[in-house]
Amino acid sequence: MKKLTVIFITMLLAQTAFNQTSSDVLRYSRIYYSGTARFVGTGGAFGALGADFSALAVNPAGIGLYQGSEFSMTIAPSVEGVRTDYLKQMNTNNVVNVGMGNMGFVFTFKPQAGAAGPFRNFNIAFGMNRQNDFNSSFSISGPNHNSSLLNVYTDKLNKTPGSVPSDYPFDIGPAYDAALIYWDAGSKSYTSDQPHGGAWQSKQVNTFGSINEFDITLGANLSDKLYFGITFGVPFIRYYENSTYSESNNGDTIPFLRSMYYDYHLETHGTGFVLKGGVIYRPFAWLRIGAAVHTPTWYSNMHDHWYSTTTSYFKDSTQWNGVINSPVGDYNYYMRTPWRAIGSLAFIIGKFGLVSAEYEYVNYSQAKLNSSGYGYTTVNDEIAGSFQSWGNIRVGTEWRIADFRIRAGAAYFSNPYTASGVDGARYTLSGGLGYRIKHFYADLTYQWAQSKEEYYLYNYAGMVPSTNTYTTSTVLTTIGFRF
């Protein structure tokens, strides 16, 4: 998957004091539904099955299949591993995270016989479902004999002159103040101590946070044939990124510079609103057909907070060594994620088991950024041209042995990028066990997920990306009570 918008701050958006990119929008638009162990154990293919709290985040009509009130809660510890390959230098990092997959209540109201005509029951549910995790850590390192981050800075200044450092407060300005770049009177241009590269480059990136969605769902059962529901969702974004990029003298090939460091810190918060509607039709006892539509999620109060620190060290102790802190950047803006449409099928095999599958259509190029003072035209054009429409596929099965259940599932989240490169698709496999009696149930699931990306340290001609492989192992434990 090609990072068409480089995550690193050297995209030079700091020149305009805006830090939001197309990569940020994609991060918050991709949803990997988590939740209960049963839901995840069947690959998340629950849109036509219902009667599971996490299914309400996919197809709200699933609430209509509840026959009684219920409480469920899921704990989901995970290990996120990232393997990087940059210029044949391999690194591996692992992060352990303990999160909550879901917690929710469902209440069922059954009218007196004949009082509500064909309506068998009315249901209401509220609680939380996890939509995405951002916990990861990776390191990239290797020798680069072709370019330096400082080339990005000097090329920018030589092509688009500005007042240094005031016009570039977050990256170029601090590098200038730290004597990493300077004006060369002979060539009448900006340059650095390593205009042709030659440094050992490294970067450490740590991210954490999540998207958790608070859902309120209303639905009903009509004649045990047609089920329908609507969900009012309020997702909460928390994203934190801390990174350190460095260049150090490799084999004493740089005349004066010993090393430089660029520390970058980003914090993003946002609260949104999404409306989801769905139906499930049961023409026969063995067949269920589901359909759902999700409106775009409107985030009306996105807020970014960021700052950076640039540090330089020179060989000669008489030369100036500096630690330059940037100002603090704060900005409020709006974000809209794409529409979603989901179609589902489930086959019920008597009292023995079930097989289910669903297809989710989403067009990531529809996402948008906006604000009261800035139109984001360039970023929105990049979103429209860089991302594509495709679909996600989920399949699962469950089999019953007395009070026990055996489950397995798989999911494919398609590549959202239009450009060639490493495929940005995500694959998951899952399996689990369950135990269910009249008023209590417990489920245990293991899920494996993997995806790849091409990660660029900075945006420069001929720059070789790091190939990052992300592998996540999650164990979900759900307990539930019926009352």
Proportion of the chain above pLDDT 90, given as a percent: 83
* 307 sits in which H/E element: strand 298-314
Return the pLDDT at 92. 96
Three-class SS state of 11: helix
- Spatial CA neighbour of 202 closest among 248, 162, 166: 248
Q: Which pLDDT score is estimated for 359?
A: 98
Instruction: Give mean pLDDT, residues 160-166.
Output: 76
For residue range 36-55, list pLDDT tens digits in order. 999 999 999 999 999 999 99
Q: Return d(Cα 345, Cα 96) in angstroms, integer.
A: 35
Average pLDDT, the chain: 92
Output the pLDDT for position 131.
96
**pLDDT for the residue 317:** 64
Residue 319's pLDDT is: 63
C-alpha dihedral sign at 394, 400, 401, 402: positive
18 pLDDT band, cuts 50/70/90, is: low
Point out the least confidently predicted range of 54-68, 318-332, 395-409.
318-332
Q: What is the mean pLDDT of residues 463-482?
A: 96
The C-alpha atoms of residue 176 and residue 66 are separated, in whole angstroms, by 64
pLDDT beyond 50 at 110: yes
- Give the pLDDT of residue 403: 97
DSSP code of 387?
A: B
* Mean pLDDT value of segment 304-330: 88
Alpha-carbon distance of 72 to 37, in angstroms, equals: 10
- Structure tokens belonging to residue 384: 């429209």
Cβ burial 322-333 (10 Å sphere, 16+ → b, else e): bebebeebebeb
pLDDT interval class at 12 (50, 70, 90): very low
pLDDT at 197: 86
CA angle 62, 351, 346 (to 5 degrees): 40
Going by pLDDT thresholds of 50, 70 and 90, the confidence category of residue 11 is very low
Cα–Cα distance measured from residue 95 to residue 201, given in angstroms and rounded to the nearest whole number = 23
Q: What percent of the chain has pLDDT over 70?
A: 95
How far is the CA of 66 from the CAs of 34, 162, 409, in angstroms? 20, 64, 23
pLDDT tens, position by position, 64-105 = 999 999 999 999 999 999 999 998 899 999 999 999 999 999
Give pLDDT tens digits for 449-468.
999 999 999 989 889 999 99
Question: What does DSSP assign to residue 319?
Answer: S
Is the pLDDT confidence value at 170 over 50?
yes
Q: What does CATH list as the number for 9-482?
A: 2.40.160.60
Mean pLDDT within 352-377 = 95
Q: How confident is the model at residue 164 (pLDDT cuts 50, 70, 90)?
A: confident
CB-based contact 98:109 (threshold 8 Å): no
Query: In the beta sheet, which residues pair with residue 476?
Result: 445
Q: What is the pLDDT of residue 10?
A: 35
Taking the C-alpha atoms of residue 193 and residue 182, their distance in angstroms, rounded to an integer, is 9
Residue 451, judged by CB atoms within 10 A of its CB (0-12, 13-18, 19+), counts as buried
